[in-house]
Every structure is written in C-alpha cells, then in structure tokens.
C-alpha cells in the first residue's frame, strides 16, 4: 500500500503487476488530485513533451527536423491557444474544481518525482501546469488522434491535382464525395505552404462493441473497447487507473492521457463507454482569392479580422517569425499581400466549442445510464467520435458525437472549394436532429469500427471513412453466436480473418489464372476460417497487402509519376484516407472507372513487385517490431533495458486486430490496439491489457511490462471483476 499526502487526508493506492494504480480517495476532488499526482510521478516527461507539442514548440527542443516543423506549423496555424481563457470561464464550477485539483496533483507529483534528466538535457525549465495547459492539451490530443486524417485528405487532394491527377483518379479516390470538385480552380491555388499543411499522422482504427443483457450468457450487458493508436512506444500513450471514492461508494476506471484530468474511455459503477474515430468531416479548406492583404467575398474585397505574428525558436538555428491571417472561418495558409489563391483551414468548433466537448467527457464520470450518456454525447461539437455504451440495467447504445459545418450546395467537403462566391465567412453546424444513433436495438448488438453511416434522414456526416472490413467481420462474428461471454468478445477483438483479402482476391482471381502462386493466394483468401496454420496465414496476409499496395502504386505512378507515388505511399498515411472508396473500384464495382481489362493490366505489373518486396524482407507484414523508449528511440545498448526485444503481432490493416507499420517523414509509426478493456456491467470492475506499463522510468513501476500478455490476449483484473480472466481462446 502506497500513500499520497493531501490536505483533506491521506490517499492510498496499490499497483498491479503492470504498475497500474488502484486508488482509494475520499471524494471526486481527492480522486482528481490523485490522478494528477500519479500522472506526473509516472509520466512527467510525456506530459512536458506533449505540452511543448501542443504549444507548437517542438523545434525549440528537437531542432529543425521535418516532423517537428510539421507539427509546429500545424499547431500554430490552427492556434490551439486561441480563446483558452474564455473557454475556461465557460466551464461550470464543479468542472473547474476538478481541473484545479488535478493541476495541484500534477504539481505535487512532479515535486515528488524530481525534474527528469531527459528534460534537463532538452533544456526545459520547471513551470506550473495549469488549467489552460489542460485545455490546450485536449485540443492537441484530440486533433492528433482524430482530426489529422481529415486534414491530410484535403491537403492530399490539393497535392494530387497539382501533381497532374486527372478526374478519373479523383473519382477512384473520393468516390461519391467527388461531386462538385473543380480541378481547374485547384490547379491555380498557390502551393508555397503545401508542405506545411500536409500532416502525415493518423494511424486510424479502434473497435468498440457491446451486447445487451438478452444476448449475454450472464444476463447482463457486456462491452469491449480498444483504441487503435500508435504503439511500440515506452511508455504507452495511454495510462490506466482505477479509483474508488469512499464518500459515495462509486468507482471510475479506464484509460486516459497523462495531462488530462479525465478518462478517454472506461466505466463507472453504472455505465461503460468506449470510442472510435467517426471520421466526421469537420476539417475543411476554403480557397481564398487574395490581393493587397484582403480576400474576395461575393464581389467585395474584405479585410482579415486578425494578423497574428509568432516567433518560433529553433534549436541550433536563428528564430523564425511566422505570420498568420485569420477571419471568422479560419486561418489563411499563405500571404494575402502576394496576389493569388490560398487555402484557408478550419476545424469546426475548435475555438468556439471546446468547453462543450470537455463537459461531455467530464459528465460521463457520473453518468448513470445509456440514455443519459446518449443525451450527453449529443452535445459534443469538436471531436468526431462514435461512442459505444452499456449500462448496469442491460441496455446498450451507439451514437455519433461531434459537429460538421453547413456547406454551400454542391460541396461535399471532401476537397477544397473556392470561397470568393460565398458572401460570409460565418458558418453554422449541421442540424443534429439527424445524428446517427441506436438505443438498445432489437438485435442486441452495437458495433463501431470507424464506419460510414448517414443520418436516418440522409444527412451526410462522413465522407472518407475507413474501410468497412473490420466492422463487417465483427458483425459476422457477433451475429452468428446467440449468447456471448467476455471471452467471446475477446476472441472477436483478436480475430485475424481478413475480409479485404477475401473480397479482392475473389474478383482478381480470374484475371491471372496462369500464375500458380497467385492462385494459391486466391485459395487462401477464400478459405481463411478456421485458421489452422497461423504462420502461413500471416505470411499470406502480408503478401496480399503488398500486392494491394503495389497496385495502388501503379495507379498513382501512372497519374502523378513514380516519385510522387512513392512519397504518398511510403511517407504518408495515404491508403487510410481513401481506401474505402478506391477498393470499390478495385473490386470492379465501378466498371466505368476500372474494368477487368484495366485491373488485369495493373495486376500483371504489380504482382512481381509485391513478391519481390516480400522476398526482400522490406515489407511491414507480418508485423514485427520492438518497443522503444520515447527518448532513447532504440539507440541505447540492449543490455541497458530501455528498449524491448522485437515481437511478432497478430493481424493486418484490415483485420479486427488491426496492425499497421510505416515510416512517416523519417518518423517510424506502428499502429495497433493500444489496449483491450472488456467488462460485464453487473460487476464492479473490468479486465484489461495494455503493453508497456505505467512508468516511463527504466526502473519505475511496470516499465515495459504486459507486452506478451497483450499480444497473446491475456488479462489482468481492473477493480473487482468476478470469475476467471477472459483470456483469448487457444
């Protein structure tokens, strides 16, 4: 038993084998204090580095490296520091009290920890962590986790058009969201700032699903949640904790981000919830026609509302001054004094509605039912998420949260549009009366896996979802079993059947009938279940996805040239942005764009390249990587123990256990389920696994722990769940 000193009385906690704390506090304020204390004690370096990133100051400590410049430019363009004080004042008193208690806990935990050597080497000085830092961090982490793919997609459309992409390629990539695009207009856009708006982050993913009491063997609702994020880092991005409050006899547990006083997913004594990225199209680019420092709107030249200068310090170099021009819509990415057409970037609701979003996630701390949770999430404005919920009464629900701007007729929002024919830059959100939502459906199952669903009245909220393969596979698994247990939910989460391979090879098989190795791949794709030889299965998955990627490379190279195609596929998460639509064409479901003759030609060119890539050992599947410390990045000797040995992971980019490995602007990125959390809502707790442990210190609690258990599907108790661990069936 360990203790945290507090003016209201001692707070006690214990840790499990992975360093995860279980806290006993008096009330909500003590609970918030303890969360802040342990976040700082275990993850102070992570908090400080993320704070620097959220302020757009990475180059100040890392130097002028491409990744740091991209993040700094994006953060300062969107201005995550805008209206922080006003946002703070909009919060209710009880929420402010929790913020203040959390920040006081951070200060105490940092003092007990001492200033880390790594922060000393980076030249960072101690400074208080405040409520405004929390709000800025919320914007930053929300954007990096959920918004970067939407931002990237629109920037990529602009880059493709400038690279010579014709209408046919844009129709393949954007599908029905291409309606209204004006390629000629986009070719005239100034692209001097383009490298600064291409944010190559976003690994996508997340699964969440729940079954109602009527579909559960226990007679109670069950829920499974997992965020698919960057992994392979020590410590992990998320931090797990469980807290009980003696005053009301309640508990609050789950996964959160160090630096934020609330959990990103988990449960209390009555309700459990988990999120997936809804890919709501809440980031838009308007093209502004500028000259003499003004922009054109319906025949009138208008002044920008604000000229903002920011001095950017760069380690080892002279500081730079960045100038931004803003109006009610967003931030211009260019100089309006140089005549031309420039992108103007907007994240819907970021400046005006942060307080509403913070209220949503904080109100879930005390939510008592799925009905109440759905009402809470209807208020969400800034972050686009699907929320899956289950409660102690046996109910389940699914709702989309977040807002999308109303747009002029004919603009889907999936690409930049000219703004000079629009009279005003003030925008309103879409009417939420048509928000997609399901409460306790008769089939007794709700599932989310980053899918596209329109409102019942036809409102389009999502233009570029992730492919539906994980969603379809989870529906298949959960639908065919009448009664579910926690173990059957875990089995679904760890499933490795690849529906993308099955769909594509069924169509591609007849196009290269003379190639025996190709036909062997066809046979594997058709008969994946049951998986009897996991080594061969993963090798075949790797070969299929190499082929899938090389076909896309052939298509892009023919339109924009090989160097540009290689950049898009090897340096940026291009596939994730557009696969939902281009797979429809690759499956010959749009013969006016791609017919069997064309597909056969692409296959003949791509197939030997895919085999060569796999044979050379340069392909990323089956996934295998080590876990590296966030500071040392694998550069220390193995015997020092900062980094962990390489491990083989399940899955592929399109299986329920989703795995992605890529290189992004010299920055290695590995995506996978960052945790698994499964619960029976009648019990006082959950079961979980998470790779990497609680502490960022080499000899801290749980450092590097839990990796094997996470891969193999073994679980530890979280709180006081009953029964045996729901380990993955062998």
pLDDT tens readout for residues 438-490: 999 999 999 999 999 999 999 999 999 999 999 999 999 999 999 999 999 99
pLDDT tens readout for residues 584-600: 999 999 999 999 999 99
Kindly report the length of the chain. 730
Q: What is the mean pLDDT of residues 718-728?
A: 96
| C-alpha–C-alpha distance, residues 265 and 388, integer Å | 10
Burial of 617 (0-12, 13-18, 19+ CB in 10 A): exposed
User: For residue 196, is pLDDT > 80?
Assistant: no
Place of tokens 């070719």: 187
Angle in degrees, CA 239, 245, 248, rounded to 5: 140
pLDDT tens readout for residues 40-50: 999 999 999 99
Whether the model clears a pTM of 0.75, i.e. scores above it, the answer is yes
| C-alpha–C-alpha distance, residues 225 and 485, integer Å | 15
Domains and CATH numbers, the chain: 1-493+679-730 (3.60.20.10), 499-615 (no CATH)
User: For residue 56, is pLDDT > 60?
Assistant: yes
The whole-number pLDDT of residue 637 equals: 81
SS3 480: helix
| C-alpha–C-alpha distance, residues 374 and 666, integer Å | 41
The whole-number pLDDT of residue 201 equals: 60
Which residues make beta-bridge pairs with 263?
256
| C-alpha–C-alpha distance, residues 412 and 409, integer Å | 8
Place of tokens 């085999």: 611
Mean per-residue pLDDT over the chain, rounded: 95
User: For residue 708, is pLDDT > 60?
Assistant: yes
Q: What is the mean pLDDT of residues 263-278?
A: 97
Whose CA is closest to 649, among 708, 701, 605? 708
User: For residue 197, is pLDDT > 60?
Assistant: no
Per-position b or e across 144-176, b if 16+ CB within 10 A of its CB? bbbbbbbbbbbbbbbbbbbbebeeebbbbbbbe
**Residue pair 181/170 in contact by the 8 Å Cβ criterion:** yes
| C-alpha–C-alpha distance, residues 722 and 710, integer Å | 20
**Residue pair 205/225 in contact by the 8 Å Cβ criterion:** no
Query: Which tokens belong to 565?
Result: 């195609």
The whole-number pLDDT of residue 618 equals: 85
- Assign 19 a pLDDT band (cuts: 50, 70, 90): very high
pLDDT tens readout for residues 319-363: 999 999 999 999 999 999 999 999 999 999 898 899 999 999 999
């Amino acid at each position: 038993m360990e203790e945290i000193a507090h003016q209201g009385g001692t707070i006690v906690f214990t840790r499990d084998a992975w360093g995860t704390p279980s806290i006993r506090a008096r009330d909500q304020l003590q609970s918030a204090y303890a969360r802040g204390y342990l976040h700082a004690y275990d993850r102070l370096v992570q908090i400080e580095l993320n704070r620097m990133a959220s302020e757009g100051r990475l180059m100040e400590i890392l130097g002028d490296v491409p990744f740091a410049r991209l993040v700094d430019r994006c953060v300062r363009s969107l201005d995550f520091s805008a209206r922080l004080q006003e946002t703070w004042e909009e919060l209710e008193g009880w929420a402010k009290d929790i913020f203040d208690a959390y920040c006081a806990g951070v200060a105490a935990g940092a003092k007990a920890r001492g200033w880390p050597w790594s922060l000393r080497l980076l030249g960072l000085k101690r400074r208080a962590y405040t409520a405004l830092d929390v709000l800025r961090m919320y914007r930053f982490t929300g954007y990096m986790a959920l918004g970067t793919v939407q931002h990237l997609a629109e920037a990529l459309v602009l880059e493709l058009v400038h690279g010579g992409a014709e209408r046919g390629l844009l129709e393949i990539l954007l599908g029905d969201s291409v309606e209204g695009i004006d390629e000629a207009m986009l070719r005239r856009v100034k692209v001097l700032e383009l490298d600064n708006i291409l944010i190559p982050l976003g690994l996508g993913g997340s699964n969440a699903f729940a079954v109602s009491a009527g579909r559960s063997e226990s007679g109670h609702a069950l829920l499974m949640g997992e965020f698919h994020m960057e992994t392979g880092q020590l410590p992990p991005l998320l931090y797990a904790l469980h807290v009980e409050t003696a005053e009301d006899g309640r508990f609050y547990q789950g996964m959160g981000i160090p630096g934020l006083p609330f959990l990103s997913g988990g449960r209390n004594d009555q309700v459990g919830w988990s999120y997936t990225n809804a890919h709501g199209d809440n980031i838009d680019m308007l093209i502004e026609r500028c000259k003499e420092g003004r922009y054109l709107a319906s025949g009138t030249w208008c002044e920008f509302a604000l000229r903002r200068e920011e001095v950017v310090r760069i380690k080892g170099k002279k500081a730079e001054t960045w100038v931004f021009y803003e109006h009610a819509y967003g931030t211009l990415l260019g100089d309006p004094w140089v005549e031309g057409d420039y992108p103007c970037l907007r994240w819907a609701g970021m400046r005006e509605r942060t307080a509403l979003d913070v209220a949503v996630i904080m109100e879930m701390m005390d939510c008592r039912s799925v009905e109440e949770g759905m009402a809470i999430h209807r208020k969400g404005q800034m972050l686009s998420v699907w929320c899956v919920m289950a409660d102690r009464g046996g109910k389940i629900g699914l709702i989309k949260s977040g807002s999308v701007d109303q747009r002029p007729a004919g603009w889907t929002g999936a690409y930049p549009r000219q703004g000079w024919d629009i009279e005003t830059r003030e925008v309103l959100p879409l009417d939420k009366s048509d928000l997609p939502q399901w409460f306790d459906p008769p089939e007794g199952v709700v599932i989310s896996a980053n899918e596209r669903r329109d409102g019942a009245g036809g409102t389009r909220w999502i233009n570029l979802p992730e492919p539906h393969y994980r969603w379809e596979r989870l529906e298949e698994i959960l639908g065919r079993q009448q009664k579910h247990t926690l173990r059957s939910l875990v089995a679904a989460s760890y499933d490795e059947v690849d529906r993308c391979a099955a769909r594509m090879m069924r169509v591609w098989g007849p196009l290269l009938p003379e190639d025996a190795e190709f036909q062997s791949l066809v046979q594997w794709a058709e008969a994946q279940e049951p998986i009897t030889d996991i080594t061969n299965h993963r090798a075949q998955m790797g070969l299929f996805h190499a082929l899938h990627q090389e076909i896309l490379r052939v298509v892009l190279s023919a339109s924009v040239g090989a160097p540009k195609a290689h950049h898009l596929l090897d340096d940026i998460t291009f596939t994730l942005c557009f696969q939902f639509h281009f797979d429809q064409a690759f499956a010959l479901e749009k013969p006016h764009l791609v017919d069997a003759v064309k597909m056969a030609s692409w296959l003949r060119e791509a197939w030997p390249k895919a085999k060569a890539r796999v044979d050379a050992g340069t392909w990323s599947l089956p996934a295998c990587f080590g876990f590296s410390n966030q500071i040392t990045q694998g550069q220390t000797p193995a015997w020092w123990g900062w980094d962990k040995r390489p491990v083989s992971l399940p899955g592929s980019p399109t299986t329920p256990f989703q795995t992605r490995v890529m290189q992004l602007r010299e920055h290695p990125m590995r995506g996978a389920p960052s945790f698994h959390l499964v619960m029976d809502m009648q019990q006082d707790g959950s079961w979980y696994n998470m790779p990497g442990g609680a502490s960022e210190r080499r000899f801290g609690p749980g450092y590097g722990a839990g990796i094997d258990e996470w891969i193999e599907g073994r679980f530890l108790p979280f709180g006081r769940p009953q029964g045996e661990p729901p380990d993955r069936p062998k």
